[in-house]
Amino acid sequence: MGVRPSTCLVIRAVGHDPRSDQFLADAHALGISGLTAVTCTDLVFFDGALSDKSVQLVSQRLLSDPLLRTVSPHTKAKAGVIVVETTLLPGVTDARAEAIVRGAKLVGLGDIGQVATGRRFELTGVLRDEDLQHLVSRLLANPVIEKSAIGEVTPTFVSGDSTGPAEVVPVTSLSSDELLALSSERGMALDVVEMAAIANHYRKLDREPTDVELEMIAQTWSEHCNHKTFRAQITFTDGSTAVPLLKQLRAATDQINAPWVHSAFVDNAGIVAFDDHFDLAIKAETHNHPSAVEPFGGSNTGVGGVVRDVLGVSARPIALTDILCFGPTDLPIDDLPAGVLHPRVIRAGVVAGVADYGNKLGVPTVSGAIVHDEGYTANPLVFCGCVGVLPRGSNPTEPRPGDRIVVIGGRTGRDGIRGATFSSMTMDATTGDVAGASVQIGDPIVEKGLIDVILAARDAGLYSAITDCGAGGLSSSVGELASRLGATVDLDLVPRKYAGLASWEVWLSEAQERMVLAVPNVAPLQAICDRYEVELADIGSFSDDQLLILRSGGEIVAEMGMGFLHDGCPTRNLTAALPSTPPPTHTSRAVPDLAAGLLALLAHPSLRSNQDVVSGYDHEVLGGTAVRPYGGAVGDGPCDAAVVIPYGTSGDTAMVLACGVNARYGALDAYRMARACADEAMRNVVAAGADPDRVALLDNFSWGDPRRPETLGTLASAVAGCVDAALAHQAPFVSGKDSLNNEYLTSSGERRSIPPTLVITAVGRVTSLDHVVTSDLKAAGNVVLLVGSTRDELRGSHLDAVLCIDGPGDVPAPDPDAAERYRQMHRAITARLVRSCHDLSEGGLATAAAEMVIAGRLGLSMIVDGDPVVRLFSESTGRFLVEVAPSDVDAFIAAMPGSVVLGTVTAEPVLHITVGSDAITLPVADLVHAWAGHVPGIQP
């Protein structure tokens, strides 16, 4: 039997591989028209000697599938075909390779040594050298995490000895400029005041810090972890001051004082009552910077991270959300800033990452949105949310002296190094070159084991406290759990993916799928971990001396007082400019063809159907999804909110989940944007049947650099809008997250910031599935009514987006009657007066009517009075379109004073809207076609 010094296998799809078509389409979209065909295959590399028999067994038992894929040895390409191969860089977690190694052991092959994976592209066509370079650097490979070769690539397997335990870093004698240089050199993202506080602290201690201590301080004090801007003292340019932003949000929740809120702003996730026996845990996170440099890994671990947030309050994850913001997918490649991935590449990677994690984990993705705007070209935004369910009172939160510090789940590697500080920085053309180690790589199969272990340990009462190991790694998780106690940790006991990690890297690594628990007795937890094949490491214990002591190689590599670590960061004093709305660039707004305007709105990338994306997400797993992202007569109509029966509950009560986002308002009036987003989230859950008096909110801010007064002014204005919205609706915020410094500095020095973007998530409940309402028209002959007031509010509208203008008028103002109107609507729904209901938001009345027609595959004839453009396309808040049976119209109007009858549902599938002397008449087939993105001049 022969022996191979190294082995490479090629995995090909049986039949046609759809990835090949996608890569070809993306290449053509980038302007590389000479490429005529792409064949994509997967590579598996084995390190060291592997016998022919072992290769055969691995191929047959692990890699091949007669229905899906075949495996063959690596061979040379045919003449005339250009080959590009890629593989991951050293130290980047290769989840597929790890799965192969695990699988080999499970099927009895034993240890097959190190494995690496890659991809092979066979390109056909006439390609210039610059086209080939564009293909490799902008489409086929991501240089942040991959190396590539034109021809055969050689994988690099990780090896090496452990480094020294710690390095002393002098700071006490450095000048201000030298301290700033050190912060920049080490990627600490700390300003001169903060660096001076560190230097002064160590002068008092009469010693220099170790690199472990310095990196730990930078992580704990980072904007990402410490929310320095939201805790800052803010002074406006007119001399007035603002209460710190975080205090404002918490004060609003305290003022509402809802008895069903069980935990807000103090743990990994907010906790609210669901029924008499169960609570819901809710959290939404951002993963923007990582997704910009490695879209798949960034979004993939964004999902994994927010799931662990929910696990961190002892809850079973039951539903996922994702709101994604990208640049234009038709952007010419020459307009792309240096060092930035093309929006098509980012979108494809982010969507795949979301689907990969949720689907493999077995948690349904049930709600979300996709937004496109030029402002997101260099800084995509990825908002990931999760809801979990837990028995009431089942989340212990207080570690005790003597409890063991236990890490369970994945091993520690170099992935995710300095991720917290990286996320606190402005990106530029060199970011991809220096931030590769900040990209976390996920493994959802490992996280599935974590879920099983934690739920079993929770029910057995085996831990005193729990938290996820996310941003900042062990530094953050152990540091926070021990913040009121103290702890001693032996870093040598932390399981590693490979040798060669420095002590500070072990402590700061954001390697995924890890949780930290305070455990009185490790043995029973070890037994559960063994049952589910989840690795456990006992790395130290909690103390009561307010000291955090880390050892490595038998030496103390860090000794930190908890007071300085958690309370020593200087409070920032920031200046904010009073926000003002810029004047419009256009003085008029005209829509000569109303029907064409409606079709263009339906096809706009931010409004069109995303069913092509959602179809890749599993929204049925766990069996509790009662209302899916799309529904109606043929399952392709929009739904305002997801309705989910939480796993393990009685089934009588269901959760209602929706979001609000509209960044087009942000640059014009951040206050009104916040009010509109909160109102949209509330409106969506109410339209589906939720009780508006039992809705909890989450806030997620993605903004530019808050050190610029104009940017901070809009952020403060948006927070004020959130506070006023919460008080108006009596809907408390229970958790949130801010992601700042979403800016990109081009090589020419131009600063590009995202539009101020706020996502509001609303979580409500419906106590009977009989009271759930969807947006699809139900029956011909029913009456359609408009609820709420329409005003001339078209500034920042999506109509202006399709007209490519910044037109006159106002950004939609808060509706002072909305909160009471939503209570009236809820009473009408519970009285069974409503057959269907749809909120009016982006695109206004005409778009909402078209979406109801699309969903029901019925027609609708309406007569609307007033200015056609205002009446059809205004985005005034607080409005619904409601379908009511003829016999219930009088009762509905009595329940909803001010409602206006607009028209009737028809059997003929045509939307007909008469507005004065103008009219829109469009067959449903044309509306469906447009909503799929198919309108001349509008790209999907």
The set of catalytic residues is 224, 287
388: which strand partners? Answer: 281, 317
For the record, the structure tokens of 828 come out as 């009408």
Phi, psi of 340 (to 5 degrees): -110, 135
Whether 284 contacts 321, CB under 8 Å: yes
> Crossing angle for the helix pair 192-205 and 176-185, nearest 10 degrees?
100
For the record, the structure tokens of 369 come out as 């949105």
Residue 668 class from Cβ within 10 Å (0-12 exposed, 13-18 middle, 19+ buried)? buried
Output the CA–CA distances (angstroms, integers) from residue 241 to 238, 598, 713, 775, in the order listed.
Answer: 9, 45, 11, 45
For residue 835, give the 3-state DSSP assignment: coil
For residue 82, give the 3-state DSSP assignment: strand
Output the CA–CA distances (angstroms, integers) from residue 342 to 20, 140, 374, 608, 777, in the order listed.
Answer: 18, 11, 12, 21, 39
Query: For residue 714, which amino acid is it?
Result: T
Residue whose tokens read 């004060």: 251
What whole-number distance in Å separates Cα of residue 154 and Cα of residue 136? 16
Whether 389 contacts 624, CB under 8 Å: no
Shortest CA distance to 350 belongs to which of 316, 376, 317, 386?
Answer: 376
DSSP alpha helices (H): ranges in 257-341? 288-293, 295-311
For the record, the structure tokens of 623 come out as 């069996």
What whole-number distance in Å separates Cα of residue 294 and Cα of residue 309? 22
What whole-number distance in Å separates Cα of residue 636 and Cα of residue 857? 10
Shortest CA distance to 516 belongs to which of 407, 591, 411?
Answer: 407
- DSSP states of 496-546 as a string? BSSS---HHHHHH---SSEEEEEES-HHHHHHHHHHHT--EEEEEEE-SSS
Whether 661 contacts 369, CB under 8 Å: yes
CA angle 436, 740, 710 (to 5 degrees): 135
